[in-house]
Amino acid sequence: MFSCNYHTHTKRCGHASGEDEEYVLQALGRGLKVLGFSDHAMLPGLVEPYKRGDYSLFDDYCDSINSLRKKYQDQITLYLGFEAESFEYYFNYYHELINNKVLDYLILGNHSILDKDKNIVFNFSHITTTSELYQYKELAIKAIETGLFSIFAHPDYFLASIPNFDYDCKKVSKELIEACIAYDIPLEINLAGIRYGEKIIGKKRRWIYPSYEFFSLVSKYKAKCIFGYDAHSPKDIGDTKSEYAAILFANKLHLNVIDELPKLTCK
């Protein structure tokens, strides 16, 4: 149903399955014209088992996707990227990867906080204080303002455990949306959150994301949106159940959905 997907993981991250070529073959079978691989960024000096691949896997990742790109160049456009965190320590590294055309693109996945000793000290899916909420916003906007990111993945990730969309949630949402508009970055309607099914959060039963409250504001601002499978197995690509639910969600809110990014850097 979709023709493009820019949010695809590989088994290197430790919580996905399947071979790289299986993702490509699944995309071809589902009629996609563009498939972007964006595994969790493999970062020098950072070890995060079952969250991201070890840095030693970086060359294999690049070599594999570039080889598949050549093999299937007449059938599908493949891009090589990362889902990268808003870790300011690594911004220069991200610049090198993009400027030297090692990667074609980055998507922003603002999951956690990295301290000065390069330790992950907090995950934003467990926000319980206003301070943590505003930290999410501040880190995300710093990343957006680098101009390095092509998509903001699950931008409403911060709402995963928050029971009520209150004044502060609305304020944070508005500032995130305005930053994305200013830097022309589409906000992702993430299908993984739909595939996970509804959860009881506070007194409500809902998806952890996408959030109706957040994307109602996205609609109000007419910001660009894009669907993302957030595929962690080949079968996630072209999953019709989550596709239909995502399309109904977007149509109900009259979201400004784009299908394809402008042509990305491609070696």
pLDDT at position 76 is 98
pLDDT at position 95 is 98
> What average pLDDT does range 56-72 have in this prediction?
98
Average pLDDT, the chain: 97
Is the pLDDT at 59 greater than 80? The verdict is yes
pLDDT at position 1 is 76
pLDDT at position 263 is 80
Return the percentage of the chain with pLDDT > 90, whole number: 97
Q: Which amino acid is at 211?
A: S
Is the pLDDT at 267 greater than 80? The verdict is no
pLDDT at position 264 is 86
Task: For residues 23 and 226, give the distance between their C-alpha atoms in angstroms, rounded to a whole number.
Answer: 20
β-pairing, 112-114 vs 120-123, is antiparallel
Q: Which amino acid is at 51?
A: K
What pLDDT digit, counting tens, does each position of 70-113 carry?
999 999 999 999 999 999 999 999 999 999 999 999 999 999 99
What pLDDT digit, counting tens, does each position of 181-240 carry?
999 999 999 999 999 999 999 999 999 999 999 999 999 999 999 999 999 999 999 999
Domains within the chain, CATH numbers bracketed: 4-257 (3.20.20.140)
Please answer whether residues 30 and 237 qualify as being in contact, where contact means their C-beta atoms are separated by less than 8 angstroms: yes
The alpha-helical segments, DSSP class H, found in the chain are 20-29, 58-71, 91-99, 130-144, 167-182, 191-195, 212-221, 240-253
What pLDDT digit, counting tens, does each position of 150-175 carry?
999 999 999 999 999 999 999 999 99
Q: Which of 155, 166, 171 is nearest to 255 (CA)?
A: 155
> What average pLDDT does range 106-122 have in this prediction?
96
Cross-strand pairs, 123: 112
